[in-house]
Chain A
Amino acid sequence: MNKNLSWKLAVIFGFLLLCVAGIFGPPWAWSGRSPLALVTDHIHLGLDLRGGTHLILQVQVNDAVNVDSDNALARLKEDLRTHKINYADIAKPDPVNHPEMIVVKGVPPDQTSDFKNIIPAEYDASSGAENSWTVSMKAQGLADLKNRAVAQAIETIRNRIDQLGVSEPVIQEHGLGQYQILVQLPGVDDPARVKEIMQSTAMLEIKQSLGGPYSSEQAALQEHGGVLPPDAVLMSGKSIGSKRDTENGEAWYIISRASAVTGRDLRTAEPATDENSQPAVRFILTAEGGRKFYAFTSAHVGDYLAVVLDNKVQEVAVIKEAIHDTGVINGRFTEQETQDLSMTLRSGALPAGIKYLEERTVGPSLGADSIRSGVRAAMVGMLAVLIFMLIYYRWAGVNADIALILNLVILLGFMGYFGAVLTLPGIAGVILTVGMGVDSNVLIFERIREELRNGKTPPSAVEQGFGHAWITIVDTHVTTIVSAAILFLFGTGPVKGFATTLVFGLLANLFTAVFVSRMIFDWVLSRKQRGEALSI
């Protein structure tokens, strides 16, 4: 064997060892574990194979925008008063479609510059007809706020899922839609429980209560002559002394839109008991939240304070004195409920509501079935190809078969290193890689045969065969890889797994079908006498 060949052989073996380590991990970590366990440590199985729950959620980012603009509106109103700027009306005209928009009507023209000065920094004001002004959040700030809401929702959901003890959960932004989150929980086949944990948005807000309790919405409206104060909303809650979960136990309150503090100002929350020894949740605010709360309560001594959880009034209490940083939520909870509520409050409130768009659950038995049939199909397909190559190309077929097996080892090694996920279509991708990978060998071998027919000597036929076929092989691989790459960008879950295996498989094939196969030919040729025929 000449020097060039041994050098190539060393490269191939080194690469092969690396790939084996990619599949099974480094040998020093093998101690006493079954090969199968080692493989699944490194090549992760997709949800469709191991069973689990897959959810896509829509974050209703407008909720977060509304929270921000409600507070801006309250600030603006306060500033209008302190700067003695006259106005006829201030309101959000369309909180559903344009939550970022506040309209102020009737600002006298001579106070325009004063008015412009009090616009919050993250808002823009543009004038309209009849001295009205539209105050809207700046586009950049609005986009940031929405993206932040999604990021925060992901963080919150992750905190909550972590408490479930799921291994390898995927919680990430779902790139295919806008403001969507993908949640994948391997091994969890009880989505109801997961959703229960996630859905408890536990959006805590402490707001001023402007009136109530009323027995019905109509009663509340009547009290105010049929119209609500502009910066207030009607909210339902439980009336004091009623039983839980009964329709007629409902009471209505008029609550200010702006919040004194929200769940984001919370440092911690824990189960406790209130002054009547009933289960309650005690919370402690952050330093910043405490300052805000102190400022608010000291300005509103004697007014009523409402603790609002997920847009339901939990309790209303009079502010007896300025409060610094602790409070108690008292809502006739059971002990279990105070524990759950403390947990969701601690893990952070979702900044916005969520809506489920897609739910898939694969039971473990189906996954096991899929693995069985996928592996069976792969075995049959691979054997058929290996045997065909042996019959059709004889010794050269052995060459192709070696290259093919190496191709698979490298493919799996890549997957191990890149932490790729093997799905059922991914297994199909492995089989297809075998079928498409062997194409390269066929292209080369057919060309060699053609050159031999044209009277070339074996070494020159091999040289020509590889030379001519190389460009064709690159072209064919590029087109398939382009398709697979587009599939990778657009696909989710199982389909992504397919695209991954196909791309890795074809890349590995460039190495095995050309470099490895060529080396084997060179080695065979180096052992042959001049003029001896090539078995192909």
Chain B
Amino acid sequence: MEFFKNTNIDFLGKKWYFLVFSLVFSVAGLLSMAFWHGVKLGVDFRGGTLVEVKYAHTPDPSAIHSEIERAGLKNARVQAIGPSANNEVLIALDIQETSEQALDKGKNQIIQALESKATPGKQDLNNSSSLTVANYLLEKDPLHLGSGADANPRYTAMAQAIVDYRDKTKGGVLGSIDELKSVADPAAVASLQDNFYVSEFGILNVEIVGPQVGQQLRKQAILATLYSLGGMLIYLGLRFEWIYGVAAVLTVFHDTLITVGAFSLLNWEISLTVIAAILTLIGYSNNDTIVVFDRIRENIKLLRRDKLADIVNKSINQTLSRTILTAGLTFLTVLALFLFGGEVLHGFSFALVIGILIGTYSSIAIAAPILVAYQEWRGERGKKPVAMPLRSGNGPTQPKEKVKA
């Protein structure tokens, strides 16, 4: 089976279309970053408090919001997340409500606000740790084990079983304490009834990032991106000629810009994992470019009489099949990640989906034309093209790497 056989498309002839296409997307992204949505940073970078809560029944975000507002937190954002069957909401506080002195103050206020229907004098079993449960059981000793040596391990194991049942079987929220009869002794369950009640929610995940860490991470994300781009430039400059490195890095920069632009247009958050995806793309987008460049270098030696533009076109066509296939296969896995990888990885896999599409397009439509445009510009100024072997002998501009014949 073969998708692309002997294609002969004049890619360089369409460079103006490509340029317009790229400009439209880059400029749209840039405009959105500058004037519309801006770059929405995730909690890692901007700091703040995120509390992910799971409810036993379908939650009402606006009711939750007013409960929290009553507790004195003015600018909380409450939104349902994930599939609606999951009954999950995300409560977010800005950095202003995340105090440097008492980092978890906002979180505690949220939990207190949600516990507004609490039974006085009782603890919430849905938000108790196994330690709390174990201590309670030890104290009450419902199984009358006395202070024997096995009391501690037995109650600890029982508490762990209760918490595991809640978290792993019931997804974090118990409907009632009676449900525990399947995993714990009835006497213990009866004793728990005395001191505990079950609220309608459980805390799944808490992220609190102080301003200092946010700033630190912002700086590091930018540095890491610059270092990667620099690394590419140096490596490709060494392996090919410097102009190949420049062309590849410009291309990758174009990919990064459009990917970040897509996040801005959709008003999605750039989180730490999205940066990880972008750094991966910086490395991966180069792969297709390298495949094309390798072939150009090989063809320059084989087809000495041809014009560079023709050689480049021929090289792109020759490698078109593998460019599309390799990108397509990686795209397949990334798509699986986007569709099945769950909420946590959504931004990450989305960046990869966009990035791989753009990266493949740009290695054909951006990288190679830059190379040709540069050589033509040099040619106009009467200089020899870089990376073209001399017509005879081993000149200094001979490609550095000999391909094994």
Q: Do the two chains belong together in a single complex?
A: yes
Complex CA–CA separation, A369 to B132 (angstroms): 24
30 contacts between A and B (CB under 8 A): A177-B216, A189-B129, A190-B129, A358-B103, A359-B104, A363-B203, A376-B340, A380-B336, A384-B332, A385-B332, A392-B2, A424-B345, A425-B273, A425-B345, A432-B337, A435-B332, A435-B333, A446-B325, A468-B403, A468-B404, A472-B290, A475-B239, A476-B287, A478-B235, A480-B286, A480-B287, A483-B280, A483-B282, A490-B220, A492-B272
Say yes or no: B401 contacts A471, CB within 8 Å: yes
Contact for A381 among B2, B164, B287, B333, CB less than 8 A: B333
Given A192-B104, A470-B404, decide whether A450 and B318 contact each other with a Cβ distance below 8 A: yes
Of the candidates B166, B344, B349, the one having the most CB atoms from chain A within 10 angstroms of its own CB is B344
In whole angstroms, what is the CA distance A195 to B102 when docked? 12
Residue B87 at the A interface, CB < 8 A? Answer: no
**Residues of chain A from 458 to 503 with CB closer than 8 A to chain B in the complex:** 467-468, 470-472, 475-476, 478-484, 486-487, 489-492, 494-495, 498-499, 502
A174: shortest Cβ distance to chain B, in Å? 9
B167→A365 contact, CB < 8 A: yes
Contact across chains for A374 and B345 when beta carbons are under 8 A apart = yes
Given contacts A361-B203, A425-B345, 6 further A-B contacts (CB under 8 A): A358-B208, A365-B204, A435-B330, A439-B326, A450-B318, A478-B235
B93 at the interface (CB under 8 A from A): no
Partner of B326, one of A56, A361, A443, A490: A443
Chain A residues lying within 8 Å of B272, measured Cβ to Cβ, are: 491-492, 494-495
Instruction: From B62-70, B226-234, B378-386, give the one contacting chain A.
Output: B226-234
B2 touches A449 (CB 8 A): yes
Expressed in whole angstroms, the minimum distance between the Cβ of A407 and any Cβ of chain B is 13
Assuming the contacts A357-B213, A385-B332, A472-B294, asked whether A442 and B326 have C-beta atoms less than 8 A apart, the reply is yes
Contact A360 B208 (CB under 8 A): yes
Q: Are B286 and A479 interface neighbours, CB within 8 A?
A: yes
Of B279, B294, B333, the residue contacting A432 (CB under 8 A) is B333
Q: Which residues of chain A are near B237, meaning CB under 8 Å?
A: none
Which residue of the partner chain B has the closest CB to A424? Answer: B344
Contact with B along A175-213 (1 / 0, CB 8 A): 011000000000011111101000000000000000000
Contacts of B276 in A (CB 8 A): 425, 487, 491, 495, 498-499
Question: Which residues of B does A touch, CB under 8 Å?
Answer: 1-2, 52, 54, 100-101, 103-104, 107, 129, 131-132, 163-164, 166-168, 171-172, 202-210, 212-213, 216-217, 220-221, 223-224, 227-228, 231-232, 235-236, 239, 272-273, 275-276, 279-280, 282-284, 286-287, 290-291, 294, 298, 318-319, 321-322, 325-326, 329-337, 339-342, 344-345, 348-349, 352, 401, 403-405
Q: Which residues of B contact A470 (CB under 8 A)?
A: 404
Residues of A within 8 A of B275 (CB): 495
A443 surroundings in chain B (CB, below 8 A): 291, 322, 326
A81 at interface, CB cutoff 8 A = no
CA distance A420 to B132 in the complex (A): 32
Chain A, Cβ-Cβ closest to B298: A468
Neighbouring B residues of A362 by C-beta, 8 Å: 204-205
Docked pose: A438 CA to B325 CA in angstroms: 10
Digit string of A347-371 for contact with B (CB within 8 Å is 1, else 0)? Answer: 0000000011111111111101110
CA distance A132 to B380 in the complex (A): 71
The yes or no answer to A434 lying at the interface (CB within 8 A) is: yes
- Give every chain A residue within 8 A of B166 (Cβ-Cβ): 365
Main secondary structure of the interface of B (DSSP, over half): helix
Residue from A368, A372, A432, A498 within 8 A of B330 (CB atoms): A432
Q: B100 to chain A: which residues have CB within 8 Å?
A: 355
| Shortest distance from the beta carbon of B184 to any chain A beta carbon, whole Å | 18
Q: How many residues of A contact B (CB 8 A)?
A: 86
Q: Which residues of B contact A150 (CB under 8 A)?
A: none
Q: Across the interface, which residues of A come within 8 angstroms of B329, CB to CB?
A: 385, 388-389, 435, 438-439, 442
Contacts of B210 in A (CB 8 A): 356-358
Contact B204 A366 (CB under 8 A): yes
A391 touches B (CB below 8 Å): yes
B74 to chain A, nearest CB (A): 22
CB-contact partner of A364 in B132, B168, B337, under 8 A: B168
Find A487's partner among B203, B224, B290 (CB 8 Å cutoff).
Answer: B224
A55 to B318, alpha carbons, bound, how many Å? 53
A125 → B minimal CB distance (Å):
34
> Measured between alpha carbons, how far is A361 from B276 in the docked complex, in Å?
21
List the A side residues contacting B298 at CB < 8 Å. Answer: 468
B404/A359 in contact, CB under 8 A: no
Chain B's nearest CB lies how many Å from the CB of A471? Answer: 6
In the assembled complex, the CB of B250 is this many whole angstroms from the nearest CB of chain A, namely 15
A451 to B69, CA, bound (A): 70
For the complex, what is the distance from the CA of A481 to the CA of B232, rounded to whole Å?
A: 11
Give the one of B291, B336, B342 with max A CB within 10 A: B336
